[in-house]
Amino acid sequence: MENIMKSFKNNSMQWRYFKQSIFFGAVRLSAFIIALALGGILFYIIVNGIGAISWDFITKPPTDSMTKGGIMPAILGTIYLTIGAIAVGLPLGIVSAIYLTEYARQGKVIRLIKVGINCLAGVPSVVFGLFGLGFFVIFLKFGSSILSGSLTLGFLILPTIIGASEEALKSVPQTFREASLSLGVSKWQTIYRIVLPNALPGILTGSILGIGRAAGETAPIMFTAAAYFTAKLPGSIFDEVMALPYHIYVLATAGTNIEATRPIQFGTVLVLVAVVLSIDLIAIIIRSYMRKNKRW
Amino acid sequence: MDSDIIIKLNKVNFYYGQSRALTDITMNFRKNKVSALIGPSGCGKSTLLRLLNRMNDLIDGTRVEGEILFEEKNIYAQNVDPVEIRRKIGMVFQKPNPFPKTIYNNISYGPKLTGIGVEDMDTLVEQSLKRAVLWDEVKDILNKSAMNLSGGQQQRLCIARALAMKPDILLMDEPTSALDPISTAKIEELIEELKKNYTIIIVTHNMQQAARISDETAFFYLGNLVEYNKTEKIFTNPDVKHTEDYITGRFG
C-alpha cells in the first residue's frame, strides 16, 4: 500500500513537471514569435532600405519630382512636429494628471473624466486629423502648419501622457506627502518639491513612448501640417512642412513614378523607424536610470 | 483655564463617511508632558492624534464635530489654515519616512519652504540633529542620502526634521513599532529628553512603553475615552475595570 502511494506521488510529480514544461514551452514560443516578427520587419526594411541611405539622402531635399535626391525636409519636419507635440502634450498632460490624482475629490465626476480620457485614447488617429483640420486649420485659421500639426499630435498623445503621469504620481508613496504636509509645507509645495520630482522619471518614460508612436503617425498630420512637397524649410510655426510618415505615404501611393522610387521609399521607412526607435531608446535610458536611483 | 493646558478637546466627534470613529471626546493635554494614548487597534487613538494637526483633512469624506482648542483657539474654525497649525504641531509617523534627499536637505526642507526666517541653516540642521541625538552618527555624511541610514536612524532623522520647525507639540504615531529594541530604547531616551522643551503626545501599542515614558495615559476603546489619568495611577490602580483588563492583557 505504501509503495503504491509512493509511486502515485512520484507519478503526480512527474505529471506536474510535464505540464510545467509544456507551459514554459508555450510561453517561450510566443515570446520567440514576437521577437521574430519584429526582427523580420527590421531585417526586411534594412535589407531594402540600406542601399538608399547616404549622406546626401539625409541632408538634401528631394529633386526631379521626388524621384531622386534626399529627404532632409521630411526628417526636419518630423522632428519639429515631434517637439511641438511634446510642447503641447507634456505640460497639459502632466497638469491634468496632477489635478486628477492630487487635487480632485474622487467621485462620479472624476470617474467620468477618466472614462472620457480612456475613450480619447481609443479614438482613431484619422479622427484626430479631421478634428485638427476643422478646429485648428480652419476655425482658428492656423492653416496647414507646424502649429496645427503639433496641436493635433499633442492632443493625440494626451491620453497616453495623462495615463503614464497618473501611474507615476500614484507610485510616489503617500508617506512622502504626509511627511511634507506634517511639516506645515503647503500642498502645492509638497507636489512641486516632493511628489513631482519623484514621479518625473516615470512620467517621462511613459510619455516618450507615446510620443515615439505619435512621431510615426500619418493620419493626424496629413490634413493639418504635412506638405506633399516643399523644398523650402519652414521659417515659422505657421509654415507647413514635409514629414516622414506622410512622405512615405505620398511616395507609395501618389508619387509621379511609384515603382522607380521604391528604394527611396524603403530608405525613408528605415529613417523613420530609426527616428522612432531612438525616441524609445531615450525612454529606456531614463527608465534604467530611474531604477538605479529608486530607493523606497 | 489652567495655564499649563496646551490642547483642549471639547465634545469631539469624528466621522469617516457615515461611521463614527470618535465619540464625545473631552480631554486636556498638558504642556511639557508626555501623554500616551493606548487601546486596541481601531479604538480611534491614531485618529485622535491625526485630528490634532489636521492630518485627517487629507482623507475625503471625513467630518469633525466639537472643538479642539490649541492655545485657546479652535483649530477647526473657518478662518484657520491647517498649514499654519502643522507648523506648530509636528508629527512623527509609524514607519520612518525620510525624503529621498540628503540628510541635510531632509532637515532644511521644512524651514526653507515654510519661510520661517532662518539666519543660519547649518546651525539649525546641527541643532536639530543634536536634539534628536543623531548628530554624532551623521555629522560626516550630511550630504549622503537619508535612505542609507538604518531604520532607527531614519526615525531619529524624522524627529529631527520635525524639530527643525521648532514646533510646540510633537505628535508621535507608534514611532517605535517598526524598530528593533535598541533603536526603540534610544527613541524612548530621546522622548524623555525632549519633554523639557516640547509637549509630546504619543500613540503606542506597547504598554510597557506607555508606562515607561509617559506622564499621563489615556485609554481608548471603540472610539470612546474610557479613562484618562496619571500614568502611575492608570498602571497601578485604574478607576475603570475595563482599563485594568486591557493593561493586564485580559483582552486586547
pTM of the predicted protein model: 0.81
- Asked whether the beta carbons of residue A184 and residue B87 sit closer than 8 angstroms, the reply is yes
ipTM value for the complex: 0.89
Q: What is the pLDDT of residue A234?
A: 79
Q: Which residue of B60, B84, B161 is in closest CB contact with A183?
A: B161
Q: What is the pLDDT of residue B161?
A: 94
Query: Which is higher by pLDDT, A7 or B57?
Result: B57
For chain A, the structural domain boundaries read 55-293
* pLDDT of residue B66 exceeding 80: yes
Instruction: Name the minimum distance, in Å, from the CA of A92 to any CA of chain B.
Output: 25
Structurally, chain B folds into a number of domains equal to 1
Q: What is the pLDDT of residue A22?
A: 92
Mean pLDDT of chain B: 90
Q: Is the torsion defined by CA of B237, B239, B242, B243 positive or negative? A: negative
| Biggest distance spanned by C-alpha atoms of chain B | 54
Q: Which one-letter amino acid corresponds to residue B220?
A: F
**C-beta separation of B24 from B11 below 8 A:** yes
Q: What is the pLDDT of residue B42?
A: 85
- Asked whether the beta carbons of residue B165 and residue A184 sit closer than 8 angstroms, the reply is yes
3 state SS of B215: coil
Q: Which residue of A175, A177, A184 is in closest CB contact with B86?
A: A184
Q: What is the pLDDT of residue A6?
A: 63
* Residue range(s) defining the domain that contains residue B77: 5-247
**What are residue A263's phi and psi, to 5 degrees?**
-60, -40
B252 lies in a domain? no
Chain B residues lying within 8 Å of A105, measured CB to CB: 60
**C-beta separation of A276 from A255 below 8 A:** no
Nearest CA in chain A to B171: A182
**C-beta separation of B201 from B29 below 8 A:** yes
- Asked whether the beta carbons of residue B83 and residue A173 sit closer than 8 angstroms, the reply is no
Nearest CA in chain A to B88: A184
Q: How far apart (Å, rounded) are the C-alpha atoms in residues A42 and A277?
A: 11
Place of cell 530608405: A267
B157 pLDDT tier (thresholds 50, 70, 90): very high
Instruction: Name the minimum distance, in Å, from the CA of A183 to any CA of chain B.
Output: 6
Q: What is the pLDDT of residue A13?
A: 81
Q: Return the C-alpha cell found at A4.
A: 503504491
Q: How far apart (Å, rounded) are the C-alpha atoms in residues B107 and A37?
A: 54
Q: How far apart (Å, rounded) are the C-alpha atoms in residues B137 and B150?
A: 11
> Which helix (H) or strand (E) is B220 found in, with range?
strand B216-221
B28 lies in a domain? yes
Q: What are the angstrom distances between the C-alpha of A187 and each of A57, A193, B6, B113?
A: 53, 10, 27, 11
Q: What is the pLDDT of residue B2?
A: 61
- Asked whether the beta carbons of residue A179 and residue B55 sit closer than 8 angstroms, the reply is no
Classified by CATH at the fold level, domain A55-293 comes out as MetI-like fold (1.10.3720)
Chain B residues lying within 8 Å of A201, measured CB to CB: none
What's the burial of A111, exposed, middle or buried (CB within 10 Å: 0-12/13-18/19+)?
exposed
B5-56 pLDDT, tens digit each: 899 999 999 999 889 999 999 999 999 999 999 999 888 999 999 999 999 8
Instruction: Name the minimum distance, in Å, from the CA of B80 to any CA of chain A.
Output: 13
Place of cell 480631554: B27
Nearest CA in chain A to B160: A183
Instruction: Residue A273: name the closest of A240, A241, A248 by CA.
Output: A248
Residue A64 DSSP class: T
Mean pLDDT in runs of 10 for chain A (296 residues)?
62 85 93 94 91 82 72 87 92 94 85 90 91 92 89 93 93 92 92 91 87 86 80 77 86 75 87 90 83 64
- Asked whether the beta carbons of residue B88 and residue A184 sit closer than 8 angstroms, the reply is yes
Q: Is the torsion defined by CA of A38, A44, A47, A49 positive or negative? A: negative
Q: Which residue of B58, B88, B98 is in closest CB contact with A181?
A: B58
Average pLDDT for B208-235: 92
Q: How far apart (Å, rounded) are the C-alpha atoms in residues A175 and B56?
A: 14
Instruction: Name the minimum distance, in Å, from the CA of A166 to any CA of chain B.
Output: 18
Instruction: Name the minimum distance, in Å, from the CA of A101 to any CA of chain B.
Output: 13
Q: What is the pLDDT of residue B94?
A: 92
Q: How far apart (Å, rounded) are the C-alpha atoms in residues B176 and B190?
A: 12
Name the strands in the sheet holding B199-203, side by side, starting at the edge strand that comes first in the sequence.
Answer: B89-92, B169-173, B199-203, B34-38, B216-221, B224-230
List the CATH number of the domain containing B44: 3.40.50.300
**C-beta separation of B138 from B149 below 8 A:** yes
Share of chain B above pLDDT 90, in %: 62
Chain B residues lying within 8 Å of A176, measured CB to CB: 97, 99-100
B139 lies in a domain? yes
Q: How far apart (Å, rounded) are the C-alpha atoms in residues B9 and A183?
A: 22
Q: What is the pLDDT of residue A296?
A: 55
Q: What is the pLDDT of residue A220?
A: 87
